Structure 1
Amino acid sequence: ADFTRLAAENVGFPENVGNVGGVHYHQAASLGQLLSLADRTVSGAASQGPNSWAIAPLSSEPQGLPQGEQEWRQILDRVLDSKEIDIFSQPAVESGNLKQNMHLEIFARITLAPGRMLSAGLFIPLAERLRRVSAIDRIVLEKALQLGGANFPADELAVNISSSSLTDESFVAWLFAALKDRPKAAPRIVFEFAEFNAIQELGKIKDFAKEVKALGHAVGLDHVGQSFANFGYLKSLQPKYIKIDRAFTNELKGGDSDSHFFIGALAGVAHSLDILVIAEGVEEKGQYRTLCDLNIDGIQGYYVEKPMPV
């Protein structure tokens, strides 16, 4: 109740004071289970931006997840040694022509056991903390760079990478060497960064964007709107596109006027800078129609297609 009241009061801070993660439960649970879920919840809150909080019910805890950093470290090291990262793709399509792909976004999954996959949202926060994320980013990019061919369904691939990977000199050197060797006919790569990371590391990502653009590739931003930031950074960074966070598109289901206004205003700012606007998490026809009325350039979500194995 206290967290709900804080959210309702719209308390804000000018800087990143901290993040809070919590767990609520009604059934018997071990201390290890509770601490493990709380740990991942606060990591998830941190990935959402400054001063964020998140609460998860114990029932949302997938059974059999690794408990504690040591077990996660062993799992991630096994994955890195074997390069057993599966990739899925989901198209972002033009709002005016749902059969026209703008790009395919690549998603990473790891397998804990046969038939049990974990999404990046579960393991990337731990990989960040354990300093394994640049190695994971490299494997995902290696797999993505192999995609293409005459009948490939898109001219561009969108791949999420962590801004912290840009501080790994060996990763950056490998990446630019790989991009320079990439055939001209192969799909171009759009490197997606979360808006919060782009704001926190604006200078670093701006320099990175300049270099990848010179090689014929691009930078995009996702989860836009989570940070409630001044959008002046868009003029400085000039991403190819921005993706509106699914929290705003989801609220369109109930006709939320604030989200309607926010999306329209954001689209106006982006279009004035020649930046495309894509809505994430579109699930229903009503959302799609509203987004078309708001002049959104593209949509992505289950309304179009679920992520599929590549």
Structure 2
Amino acid sequence: MQPADNTTFADEVRLSFVASLYQKRGTLAAGMVAHLVTTLAIYLRIDDPFYLYAALALFVTWAARTLDMMAFDRKDKSTFKLADTLRWEKRYVAGSLVAAFILGTVCGHALVMAQDPFAELAAISVTIATMISVVGRNFGSKLNVDMIILAACLPMMAGFLMARDPFMMVLAVLLLPLFLTTRSMANGVRDFLFNSVTAERKTAEIAERFDTALNNMSHGLFMLDGDGRIEVANRKAREFFSIDRNTDLTGRALKAALRLGTRNGVIAKENFGQINQHLDSLVSGRDDRALVRFDKTTWLEFTARYRGEKGVVLIFEDVSERIQSEKRILHMARFDNLTNLPNRSWFKEVVGMKIASAKPGQQLALAVLDIDDFKHVNDTMGHVNGDKLLCAIANRLRSLSRPKFVVSRFGGDEFVLFLPEVKDLDDLHATMDHVIDTLRGTYIIDGHKLFISLSGGVVMAPVSGVQIEEMHIQADLALYEAKRRDKNRWTLFEASMDQRYSERQGMKAALREAIRTGAMDLFYQPMFNTQGTRIVGAEALSRWIHPELGPVSPAVYIPLAEEMGIISELTRCVIERALQDAANWPGNLQVSVNLSAHDLNDRAIISVIADALDRTDLPPGRLQLEITESGLMNDLKTAREILTELRSMGLSIAIDDFGTGYSSLSYLDMLPLNKVKIDRSFVRDLTKDPKKLKLLRGVVHLARELGLEVVVEGVETEDQLVMISENNCADIIQGYIFGTPMPHGSFIELANKLSSNPRRLSVVGEAEQVRKSGN
């Protein structure tokens, strides 16, 4: 709608005023009759033909105006412009002017010519009456008002003046206030009506805007009076309550809308009472906001705006999606998105609440469960199937979890189980045995059968003073102990585990420091020709002397270094030290160094070896690298590429402990090898078991067919040596029969001794004496 004070609106009002001139033609006809009767009566009174002609003129004027009005009626006013309005206004004014002028002339003629009291009184009366009608009928046009008054009054004033009677002249003068008063009254009526129409239009405009805004709100609205009855309900409110728009809610209690909503299925019947209570609290002023549940999925949030004694406005919106989103966000914050088990933070919160509500003296237990060899599942079947396995285990955990249990996934393949009430150790054993038995077994993952076992660590403690973080650490220690004991079991935490853990952590720190400072020692086990008369090289073996514990077995600290991720640093230390020592050895003795699985997965080992060779000027042919099958299993392709590049540098490559794995024969063909070191298991009981000799001879024959040199390890007795020599089963001998691992000084002494006097060492004894003298 256009604003009320603009040009378009003014044109519309002017058109309406002009149209009012053309309406109510019955009054115009009544005036015409009065005029005719008056003029004819004067004619009959004084027998003056002028009045007969005046009556005829008045009738003709009335007829012409009536026809003009009928033409106006036929016009389409919606197409009118201002020019059209002004044209029809002027046409009407012209008709009014003619009629008024005729009346004024009749009046003036009566005053000047007739000289008859009746004629004068009748003419003046009808003329004055016509002027007064201007206020009631012709106010719609200011021009029309002026023209009628002038046309009627001027002839009458002229008649009074022409009478040359002082009293008549006074009456002529008094006609001027009548003219002005009549004009003012007409204009006042018109202005009043214009202002009224303007106010009405503005009110309608505001009401329409309010109605549009009210009914296009995204919120529902109920406006209640002081008695709590509905004054206004917008369209959204009706939609929320599914109330037909034809249903009149005005004057009805808010409970009526609730009943309609219940009848229409919007409100669950069982929620009606609670919803009514919420709304009563809002209307009464006890609450100003309320979240109301209509059914299982629908929530409305109400806000009250109070109007004092006039009542209250209730505004509400559908917040169902927001509530659902908040629930989803809360669920995501509390639960693991893969297994849908409680995550670490929510687990701790729930456990904290259960601990707070526990009875004094109550026993608690915390179990940490870990899938055995889960990394192998991920490596062989992919992480997607690994995730499916975790979900399957989580489902089994949920199936056995009693309501008092709290089960969580902390990440990876680690699951945590909290038992808030444990009667005694027997109860704990029964529960944990049931848990492990339920979880272990066969799982079908992507069509593949997987047998899964789990290891667990459990700690039990009284509720008083318990710290869940400390219990978790202790359960982890028990889990480590269970895995150390061959897995597939659960272990209860003991105080000694904490001590062992502390000792192990201390040993880790000491080992890291020993590798960082180069405090690791190297021992060398010599390798001989089959006659035992000449040393061909030595295997470098690291040794660690702990400052407090003394010598630590490689079987202890090497796995520790792998666990800590510093095995490559240990390898680098051994390579640098071994190459420095070998650079001073007599002749062309070869030094052999072992590479770990981590070394064979990282191309950095190539740079480490190349840099060490450059610094020591040791010919590459004097360095031999030993690898084991376990070091090849993780990434055979990368290991083969690294070994091929090292072999191209002139280094020798030997596979160590050959024959102890499942894929040894395939490795002989796939890898760039120079030597095969046959494991000591082939030599043990060689003189007692004829099958061992046949097996040894077969392996040696295969290696030589492939052009590989054969090193036999673990030769300890003369009988073993004789049998190996007689059957030509070795190119190089390494074993205690000729020498045990010895310090560098002892090895140099032995090498120099045999270099100056090549001869066969006495079995075991002489080399051992040299080693001891070096110590």
TM-score of the pair, normalised by structure 1: 0.73
What code does the residue aligned with 2:518 have? K
Partner of 1:294: 727
Q: Report the CA distance shift for 1:171/1:243 in structure 2 as closer, same or farther (over 3 A).
A: closer
Pairing 1:225–2:624 present? no
Picking from 570, 573, 589, the partner of 1:136 is: 570
Contact 1:240 1:275 in 2 (8 A): yes
Post-superposition Cα deviations, 1:104-151, rounded to whole Å, max 9, x if no partner, equal: 100001111378212322211111111110011111111011023565
Post-superposition Cα deviations, 1:246-290, rounded to whole Å, max 9, x if no partner, equal: 12212215x123322221111011000110111111110111112
Pairing 1:98–2:568 present? no
**Higher relative contact order (Cα pairs below 8 Å, separated by 6+ residues):** 1
* Aligned length in residues: 261
Matches of residues 80-159 of structure 1 in structure 2 within 5 Å?
80-95=515-530, 97-113=531-547, 116-149=550-583, 151-152=585-586, 154-159=588-593
Q: Report the CA distance shift for 1:102/1:42 in structure 2 as closer, same or farther (over 3 A).
A: farther
Q: Report the CA distance shift for 1:111/1:260 in structure 2 as closer, same or farther (over 3 A).
A: same
Post-superposition Cα deviations, 1:27-80, rounded to whole Å, max 9, x if no partner, equal: xxxxx99x77973x869xxxxxxxxxxxxxxxxxxxx99866523321221212
Pairing 1:216–2:653 present? no
Contact 1:263 1:294 in 2 (8 A): no
RMSD of aligned residue pairs (Cα, Å)? 3.3
Structure in which a larger fraction of residues adopt helix? 2
Picking from 666, 675, 686, the partner of 1:241 is: 675
**Alpha-carbon offset, residue 161 of structure 1:** 1.5
Q: Report the CA distance shift for 1:177/1:149 in structure 2 as closer, same or farther (over 3 A).
A: closer
Matches of residues 161-200 of structure 1 in structure 2 within 5 Å?
161-180=595-614, 182-183=616-617, 185=619, 188-198=622-632, 200=634
Q: Which ranges in structure 1 are unaligned for 5 or more consecutive residues?
A: 1-14, 19-31, 44-63
Structure in which a larger fraction of residues adopt strand? 1
Calculate percent identity across the aligned residue pairs. 24
Q: Report the CA distance shift for 1:197/1:248 in structure 2 as closer, same or farther (over 3 A).
A: same
Quote the Cα distance in structure 2 between the aligned partners of 1:37 and 1:297.
Answer: 44
**Alpha-carbon offset, residue 88 of structure 1:** 0.5
Post-superposition Cα deviations, 1:135-181, rounded to whole Å, max 9, x if no partner, equal: 11111111011023565365210001102123345444333333355
Pairing 1:260–2:693 present? yes
Matches of residues 67-78 of structure 1 in structure 2 within 5 Å?
69-78=504-513
Quote the Cα distance in structure 2 between the aligned partners of 1:79 and 1:245.
Answer: 30
SS of residue matched to 1:176: helix
Quote the Cα distance in structure 2 between the aligned partners of 1:117 and 1:146.
Answer: 24
Quote the Cα distance in structure 1 between the aligned partners of 2:500 and 2:709.
Answer: 38
Q: Which ranges in structure 2 are unaligned for 5 or more consecutive residues?
A: 1-379, 381-450, 453-476, 488-498, 745-775
**Alpha-carbon offset, residue 216 of structure 1:** 1.7
What code does the residue aligned with 1:127 have? A
Q: Report the CA distance shift for 1:167/1:236 in structure 2 as closer, same or farther (over 3 A).
A: closer
Q: Report the CA distance shift for 1:280/1:201 in structure 2 as closer, same or farther (over 3 A).
A: farther
Post-superposition Cα deviations, 1:211-239, rounded to whole Å, max 9, x if no partner, equal: 22222212111111111435132022131
Q: Report the CA distance shift for 1:189/1:209 in structure 2 as closer, same or farther (over 3 A).
A: same
State which structure, 1 or 2, has the greater radius of gyration over its C-alpha atoms.
Answer: 2
Q: Report the CA distance shift for 1:160/1:209 in structure 2 as closer, same or farther (over 3 A).
A: same
Quote the Cα distance in structure 2 between the aligned partners of 1:289 and 1:195.
Answer: 29
Pairing 1:207–2:664 present? no
Quote the Cα distance in structure 2 between the aligned partners of 1:260 and 1:199.
Answer: 29
SS of residue matched to 1:152: coil
